[in-house]
Structure 1
């Protein structure tokens, strides 16, 4: 969880009504885990929500996140060839952000894409070559649409002590601008930031290895070829309803590429993957079974 290290001025106690009970409980668990009061955790989450992803990682990057990407952003149109990516340097990786029309030419293959593109966010992206679905999902950042509960039993009113007045005023203003109640708006923020913290904490445990993160899919089939094309990049699967791994994926390939499977509903694995390996890689998944 992001820890605020600067003085944010005067503080006060706040009440937020109609917050998603499940998300708030997750929030309090994270706060306690990191030795934070609810007020400090609230301030930290509001700051994270305000900051672009890249700024947060750059400012608070532990040594586990690998090489920082070269960022290309705020363009109307960009066409990228294989030569563009390769000639930038063997170790160079890119982050593409806020490009209205981003096109990768036909000669950009999956191996080159995985090696040189760290992330694509907020871009309308077209791949002219044959790029596996798994690679596209891992490189293009996807944000889950939040749906606020209508059942009052799933909501609660909460009081948080010692919250930054400045950040809270900004929070209230943003909620009004979006036409949301404070409970709905804070729940929406939590739905995104809790996932962010889960993934960041996972990345922090895997050394300096870079990984693709695939999340929020209804159903995903992963073939042997999908994993082989990842090369040295790992794979993190998060909040996916159903994942099925092909039966020809062996233990060595699985161990090499599948870093973590987190909070997924159903995970179907081949018989070649030992049960204890499954338990070590699948975290908080509702059902794991061998096909």
Structure 2
């Protein structure tokens, strides 16, 4: 469901916007009037922005950056300011488990990579956007967490997303007096088109594929609804949190996982 003009006159930065939930958020926000900045490392991000610009009414600007670095986050926020004159809303969509395996089967470098992928992009983006929100007189940060703070074969990823939840609560307390809300959405398993950038560029071994299947089964079995959610079922709650309708909601993490609270 589209709510016309809900974000009219507002500028929204969406990280991880080239595919999946991030792309869905950016596309629908623009349809509801937002000017959106699509930030991603993918070289096809500009194609997504062009599609949004062709549909309107909001306009889109693409920025290619490595959000796992602070320099990348600064680049994105600076580009948003230059393109649209300010930032009102940040949605942090970068993250995702790289590997699924029992905790003791993770190598130290693999653990570090999971934390780097699913915690630091949110941490850096929040740090880089706050001065822009202050300049605007307030704003909203919606962090994309996960209900997989409890789940098998992804302990490092779970730890990273637990960090996102803690970041959300602490930053909300720190910024509440500055008219800045900080909230999070915690999606469960979600049906999405095939990824154009591989989750694990090294590919999965047969053993890892078996571990993945076990994790997928656990996710489905843990939901009351017994199924994965759709992209639309994730995008809607995220945009509600970003909107003025959620003006009295801060420091909260909304779990959107068919009854599995994680």
The structure with more helix, counted as a fraction of residues: 2
Q: TM-score, normalised by structure 2?
A: 0.32
The structure with more strand, counted as a fraction of residues: 1
Higher-Rg member (1/2):
1
Q: TM-score, normalised by structure 1?
A: 0.30
